[in-house]
Chains A and B, each alone.
Chain A
Amino acid sequence: MSGFVELWLYLSATPLFGLTATLVVYVAAHGAYTRLGQAPWANPVLWSVLALALLLLATGTPYEAYFSGAQFIHVLLGPAVVALAWPLWQRRAELRSRPVALAAAALVGGGAAVAVAVGLGWALGLPVPLLASLAPKGSTAPVAMGVAGTLGGEPALAAVFAVLTGLVGAVLAKPVLDALKLRRPEVRGFALGTAAHGIGAARAWQVHPAAGAYAALGLSLQVLLAALLLPLLLPPLLRLL
């Protein structure tokens, strides 16, 4: 038994553990997701994250030890964001044909999410630094961290809210959009990318290529809007609260 513990301590201290665990758990979660007909509640990010968190908790492995291996996957998020240029380029003619509709939906939809987050948070009595960390949660985690910092929020919390937002959006988009009778894959994808950034876009991408491309556009526009408009518009509002 002590031999096993020693072996475990050795393994969990090497980068091999985090990388292997992430891939094995994700492959299993994705297999289940495919078998369940890509049901939104079976979202592979959600279940992989929960399973890995449980594994870390059960084995007493610190997150830092896990991340020393998982960072090799994490680092690919950057080039993946750059790679969104490809679906945008492929559909450039179509996207150019409706600039007003797309810009209006990005501005009003993204604005509604920020307004509801800050307004409801304020009504529930949350302190201002928490509101500042909530405001940029609709853009992807790295952007949300940077913007929250400039707004006087807490970057680590902003990342937490951004990831939770992505998961909520990816899991609940189908029932919400179905209830509103929004059937076009382009509209559904754009809503997912706008409200649930990369995690939503990943879901859109799995379901429909057109939805994926529109989700890529929705998420890029939110990143631009969050980075350019929030630092201008939000501080005066937060000072009033």
Chain B
Amino acid sequence: MRALQGLALLLLAQSAGELLVRALRLPLPGPVLGLGLVLALLAWAPARRLVAAPVEAAAEGLLAHLSLLFVPLGVGVIAHLGLLGGHALALALVVLVSTLAGLAVTGLVLQALWREPPPPLPPAEAAP
């Protein structure tokens, strides 16, 4: 039941996101705004007590099978490969090289800037 309540909440947040995107003509997709709304609910203490457990249950179920959700779209992609026409080889090369560049640069930049958060002060030193 928890997971169903959570799914209802996520769908409500997505719907609210879609409405806001259309009403305010935002350049964002509805689900991303929905994500922001759920974060706002979780950050607001009175709402958190109501939504945290259901959202957790639904999120764990959905995210555990996230890859399944891409399959119908992926099949459509194969069905539309003909659209690539004469440029298929160049496009394959571009997708391959740019994705590898994105992976490598993102990883290297984050690794270079990575700092462990400072450990909390030991109580003995903090006291005068």
To the question of whether A and B form a pair in one complex, the answer is yes
In the bound complex, residues from chain A placing their C-beta under 8 Å from that of B27 are: 146-147, 150, 227-228, 231
If over half of B's interface residues share one DSSP class (helix, strand or loop), that class is named, otherwise mixed; here it is helix
Which of B80, B96, B103, B105 is within 8 Å of A173, CB to CB?
A: B103
Chain B residues 1-54 with CB under 8 Å of chain A are 7, 10-11, 13-14, 17, 27-32, 34-39, 42-43
CA distance A190 to B106 in the complex (A): 8
Interface residues on A, range: 35 or more
Contact B55 A195 (CB under 8 A): no
Closest to A26 in B: B68
The distance in angstroms between the C-alpha atoms of A146 and B33, with both chains bound, is 15
Would you call B74 and A45 a contact (CB within 8 A)?
yes
Residues on B with beta carbons closer than 8 Å to the beta carbon of A148: none
**B68 contact from A56, A73, A101, A113, Cβ within 8 A:** A73
Residues A190 and B94 in contact in the complex (CB < 8 Å), given A169-B103, A195-B103? no
From the candidates A76, A194, A199, A220, name the one contacting B102 in the complex (CB within 8 A): A194
Partner of B71, one of A73, A98, A190: A73
Docked-complex contact A159 and B10, CB < 8 angstroms: no
- CB-contact partner of B70 in A71, A126, A163, A227, under 8 A: A163
CA distance A84 to B10 in the complex (A): 10
Asked whether A37 is an interface residue with its Cβ less than 8 Å from the other chain, the reply is no
The answer to whether A159 and B69 touch across the interface, beta carbons within 8 angstroms, is no
CA distance A146 to B56 in the complex (A): 30
- Name 13 interchain pairs, CB-CB below 8 A, sorted by A: A70-B75, A71-B72, A73-B69, A73-B72, A83-B59, A83-B62, A104-B110, A113-B98, A150-B27, A180-B104, A190-B106, A195-B99, A202-B70
Can you list the 6 inter-chain pairs with the closest CB atoms, starting with the nearest?
A109-B106, A113-B102, A195-B102, A101-B113, A70-B72, A49-B74
